[in-house]
């Protein structure tokens, strides 16, 4: 699996999965969450309302992930994950790593081969950007090691072939590039 980081707008990527740094309500918010909801159109909000009414009446728990269609986005699916909120005392690195690992698991279950992540919890939730970069890249590398040998019956690789961190500014890009180079 190739892993890299780039500067860009996650809502413009033609990948199988874009990961949404959602809040537990799944009903939109600010930052990446708001941008994804705005770009995906009203169908995404309706799909999220349906998830709340059926599977997650109390909201999506921190570190978990769930998929919806991507609607008007160029991606095929949106995988929503709720990062831990540093400002609310949610400071366990394993909770943050779980966001990336559970997103990968959901993506593979969908049959995805490509996935794009934002810097989950580094915005409004207050986690240090460098720490998010270290935890996120380590989590994705762990997934790579654990699944690299998996093959479909026809011999083709099973799972994600390209994971990318898509960052909105140069400082975030540098943090993720440094974490990937370590």
Residues annotated as catalytic (active site), given as ranges: 33
* DSSP state string for 22-48: E-TT-S--SHHHHHHHHHH-HHHHHHH
Given a contact cutoff of 8 angstroms between Cβ atoms, the answer to whether 122 and 81 are in contact is no
* Closest C-alpha to 143, from 174, 178, 99: 99
User: For 85, which DSSP code?
Assistant: -
Per DSSP, the three-state class of 91 is: coil
Q: State the Cα–Cα distance between residues 49 and 86, nearest whole angstrom.
A: 26
Q: State the Cα–Cα distance between residues 157 and 140, nearest whole angstrom.
A: 17
């Amino acid at each position: 699996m190739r892993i890299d980081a780039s500067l860009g707008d996650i809502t413009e990527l033609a990948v199988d999965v874009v990961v949404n740094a959602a809040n537990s309500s799944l009903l939109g918010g600010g930052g990446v969450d708001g941008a994804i909801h705005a770009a995906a159109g009203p169908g995404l909000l309706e799909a999220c309302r349906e998830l709340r009414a059926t599977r997650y009446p109390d909201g999506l728990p921190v570190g978990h992930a769930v998929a919806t269609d991507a609607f008007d986005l160029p991606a095929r699916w949106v995988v929503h994950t709720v990062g831990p909120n540093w400002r609310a005392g949610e400071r366990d690195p394993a909770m943050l790593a779980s966001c990336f690992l559970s997103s990968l698991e959901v993506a593979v279950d969908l049959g995805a081969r490509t996935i794009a992540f934002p810097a989950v919890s580094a915005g409004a939730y207050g986690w240090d950007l460098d720490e998010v970069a270290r935890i996120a890249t380590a989590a994705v590398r762990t997934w790579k090691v654990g699944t690299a040998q998996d093959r479909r019956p026809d011999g083709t690789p099973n799972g994600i072939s390209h994971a990318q961190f898509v960052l909105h500014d140069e400082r975030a890009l540098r943090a993720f590039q440094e974490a990937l180079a370590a």
